[in-house]
């Protein structure tokens, strides 16, 4: 592999708290090793459009605590065409970028696998997605912050639910995976958690509400992932209010609030470790790999093997929900 001199950095797909910390780590590690760093704005679309700027150490000062991404992000259909990929490659060549660090999720690495199959540019990926649904890593940048945001919202909702003796349905992100719902639900002490990985038995949900009503339990909180097979908060609300017309039922869809905010210490440290590791990996000749963390050790997984990873059945977690909500 030829010696690397100029590294491009981009963020792609959904934003996640901690992406800026990763950008900072990549840029400063590259500069430390005598490389030049270039930011590619708006993800793959920016690579297609040539939206590229040189980054110095001051450009990444005071961003470790910021949510979002200073490089912006997007999802690019044009990049997935042969013409779009050729444009992207030409812009990389014009800027003399000879290596890339890609921060994103499943779609980011699928696009990378196809692109680097055509164009031989060394690249390392960093998992940045609040869903924590990638193989090859125990944690993804943004997950810890998103779960804490959802948990804090549940705590606040519990206060008003208790004041009014209400049933609350709280919808969290998780189109394909229930990691956020399961973890914030257990941490928030909720009565029921509905996730995409399991078929929802609505009669069981209604029976638990009836059980709580009979024993005069004042608060009943349900967390549902947006991708649950039965539907989100609105669908649950319709069924519950039809069965229990006298109950005071409310819904709260947390939505994109889970993507924003200052990253937690866990996300800042994870982003810093993976950003540092990505440059070291490129200098060691590694390419087309995602840097992840398993058992607190840095590991690397080929882009072709990084796929969305559905949550496995965890009987211990389910037992916790059933017992502690009794």
pLDDT in tens, 167-221: 999 999 998 888 999 999 999 999 999 998 888 889 999 988 888 887 777 789 9
pLDDT of residue 76: 87
Q: What is the pLDDT of residues 107-127, one digit of tens each?
A: 888 888 888 888 989 999 999
The fraction of the chain above a pLDDT of 70, given in percent, is 96
Q: Is 133 one of the annotated active-site residues of the chain? A: no
The number of beta carbons lying within 10 Å of the beta carbon of residue 297 is 8
Contact between 171 and 232 (Cβ < 8 Å): yes
pLDDT of residue 221: 93
CA atoms within 13 A on the CB side of 12: 30
Between 239 and 311, the higher pLDDT residue: 239
Confidence band for 20, pLDDT divided at 50, 70 and 90? very high
* Domain ranges, ordered by start, for the chain: 6-142+263-305, 144-259
**Eight-state DSSP code of residue 70:** T
> Mean pLDDT over all residues of the chain?
91
CA distance 47 to 10: 9
Catalytic residue among 15, 98, 106, 131: 131
Q: What is the pLDDT of residues 61-101, one digit of tens each?
A: 999 999 999 999 988 889 989 999 999 999 999 999 999 99
CATH 3.40.50.460 correct for 144-259:
yes
CATH topology of domain 6-142+263-305: Rossmann fold (3.40.50)
């Amino acid at each position: 592999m030829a010696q690397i001199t100029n590294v491009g950095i981009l963020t792609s797909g959904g934003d996640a708290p901690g992406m800026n910390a990763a950008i900072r780590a990549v840029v400063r590690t590259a500069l430390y090793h005598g490389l030049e760093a270039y930011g590619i704005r708006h993800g793959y679309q920016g690579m297609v459009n040539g939206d590229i700027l040189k980054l110095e150490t001051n450009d990444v000062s005071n961003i470790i605590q910021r949510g979002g991404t200073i490089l912006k992000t997007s999802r690019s259909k044009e990049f997935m065409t042969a013409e779009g990929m050729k444009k992207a490659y030409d812009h990389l060549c014009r800027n003399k970028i000879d290596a890339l660090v890609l921060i994103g999720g499943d779609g980011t690495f699928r696009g990378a696998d196809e692109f680097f199959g055509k164009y031989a540019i060394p690249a390392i990926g960093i998992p940045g997605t609040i869903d924590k649904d990638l193989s090859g890593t125990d944690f993804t940048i943004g997950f810890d912050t998103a779960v804490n945001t959802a948990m804090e919202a549940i705590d606040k909702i519990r206060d008003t639910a208790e004041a009014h003796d209400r049933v609350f349905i709280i919808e969290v992100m998780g189109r394909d995976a229930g990691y956020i719902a399961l973890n914030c639900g257990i941490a928030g002490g909720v009565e029921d958690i509905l996730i995409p990985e399991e078929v929802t038995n609505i009669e069981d949900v209604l029976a638990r509400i009836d059980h709580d009503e009979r024993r005069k339990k004042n608060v009943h909180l349900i967390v549902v992932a947006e991708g649950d097979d039965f539907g989100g908060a609105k669908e649950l609300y319709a069924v519950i209010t039809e069965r229990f017309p006298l109950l005071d039922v409310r819904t709260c869809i947390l939505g994109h609030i889970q993507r924003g905010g200052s990253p937690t210490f866990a996300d800042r440290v994870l982003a810093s470790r993976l950003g540092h590791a990505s440059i070291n990996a490129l200098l060691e000749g590694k390419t087309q790999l995602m840097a992840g963390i398993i058992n607190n050790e840095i590991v690397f997984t080929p882009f072709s093997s990084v796929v969305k990873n559905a949550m496995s059945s965890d009987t211990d977690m389910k037992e916790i929900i059933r017992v502690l909500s009794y």
